[in-house]
Amino acid sequence: MSCFPCCTSQERINKKSLKKSIKEYHEEKILASFANISVKTDSGKRNLITNELAKLGKGNITSKIFPYRELCVATQNFNPANMIGEGGFGRVYKGHLKSTNQVVAVKQLDRNGFQGNREFLVEVLILSLLHHPNLVNLVGYCAEGEHRILVYEYMINGSLEDHLLEITPDRKPLDWQTRMKIAEGAAKGLECLHEQANPPVIYRDFKASNILLDENFNPKLSDFGLAKLGPTGDKTHVSTRVMGTYGYCAPEYASTGQLTSKSDVYSFGVVFLEMITGRRVIDNARPSEEQNLVLWAQPLLRDRMKFTQMADPLLEDNYPIKSLYQALAVAAMCLQEEADTRPLISDVVTAIEFLARKKVEVDEPRHTKETSSTQDGDSSEHNESDEESDGEEDDENEDEEKDKNVEINKKE
């Protein structure tokens, strides 16, 4: 199954319907089959992972199966010097595949770790069946004996977390336009899962460390082990054990285990707020009233005069102020307590596409300096004095007009 790269909305609609009819016949059953994956014990099916994948994938698993030996060579025996990260699944190493001269990221499942065979299977299945520019590419896997190893394309800029929340002195903070571009791509990745996959896939683990960045800061979602198939037929939600990462989970999911695609929309809102504010969702190093980002932001989001207080100080006021307002409005909609009132991710994509392109297409020069729109380019600059010289009333009217452009139209 492949999700089409984003294009114009008309093209998207045409491609969507074409894709739907092809998928209905062929692929729905394949993706649906992983809903019932149950691997009772790690040892029970230890040697059968590849057979299981072949069965569930119905011959559509095209990822390469790596011999363990080849991955040892690629990572110099999983040399700690090549380690690029560590998470709940295990350690991630940078590696080089001699056969294809390809640099890869090799994630080795920690046998004592939290995640197990089910997550391994789900990850391989989803990434083998779904292809999209904003989903990380799985090069292959190794399930030889006890080994559970995933081999991904190498994302040279690491994770969004590294550039946003764990900035080292040698790193330049992300500029506003790059933040919007990352938010747009990450939302498109979710859109592929929710609206193009059939049945829909709920990601469940949307967070800054799972958004990987390539050389141009294009984002790709990674870590699909926790993903779940969305409700089908008349069902409004799936009931499941609460998994994911504290702080990013939607309130209804955390309290009742009822999972819908709107839970991912909430998590998107949290990450988007992290991107705007540069604050971590839970930060115990801050004063107690600021430790929970969403609770800290809630009163500020109700008062437009306080919006600029929320912008990441590392932006040094270099952002178009109206973009800030609109971005915060999108974040606030995603963070609504009531799941039904949150927008669909496709509506979020529409709104953020506008913000990511805004400077080039619609910003008035008197508000921002004309500049290009990438991290290595430069940022548009928010000029406080220009803003202040505008009549507040004019500002309001202009905002209303612009807000129409980013209005989130509910499709439901």
Give 325's contacts (C-beta < 8 A, 6+ positions apart). Answer: 304, 307, 399
Packed helices 176-191 and 261-277: angle between N→C axes, nearest 10 degrees: 170
Told to check if 115 binds Mg ion by CB under 5 A, we report no
Task: Give the range of 76-84, 94-102, 213-221, 223-231 binding Mg ion by CB under 5 A.
Answer: 223-231
Name the binder of 89 from ligand ATP, Mg ion, none, CB < 5-8 A by kind. Answer: ligand ATP
Name the binder of 84 from Mg ion, ligand ATP, none, CB < 5-8 A by kind. Answer: ligand ATP
Told to check if 161 binds Mg ion by CB under 5 A, we report no
| Main-chain dihedrals φ then ψ at residue 103, nearest 5 degrees | -90, 135
Told to check if 119 binds Mg ion by CB under 5 A, we report no
- Using the 8-state DSSP alphabet, how is residue 288 labeled? G
Told to check if 267 binds Mg ion by CB under 5 A, we report no
Name the binder of 92 from Mg ion, ligand ATP, none, CB < 5-8 A by kind. Answer: ligand ATP
Catalytic, out of 162, 170, 175, 205: 205
Among 52, 223, 312, 353, binds Mg ion (CB under 5 A): 223
For residue 16, say whether it is annotated as part of any ligand binding site. Answer: no
Instruction: Please answer whether residues 16 and 103 qualify as being in contact, where contact means their C-beta atoms are separated by less than 8 angstroms.
Output: no
Q: Which residues bind ligand ATP (CB under 6 A)?
A: 84-89, 92, 105, 107, 136, 152, 154-155, 158-159, 161-162, 209-210, 212, 222-223
- C-alpha to C-alpha distance for 136 and 140, rounded to whole angstroms: 12
Told to check if 277 binds Mg ion by CB under 5 A, we report no
Cβ of residue 30: shortest distance to ligand ATP, in angstroms? 24
Q: Is 205 a residue of the active site?
A: yes
- C-alpha to C-alpha distance for 264 and 35, rounded to whole angstroms: 18
Among 117, 210, 277, 368, binds Mg ion (CB under 5 A): 210
- C-alpha to C-alpha distance for 18 and 141, rounded to whole angstroms: 31
Instruction: Please answer whether residues 129 and 1 qualify as being in contact, where contact means their C-beta atoms are separated by less than 8 angstroms.
Output: yes
From residue 314, give the alpha-carbon distance in Å to each of 280, 356, 386, 401: 14, 19, 21, 29
Known binding-site positions for ATP: 107
Contacts to Mg ion by CB under 5 A: 87, 210, 223
Give the active site residues: 205
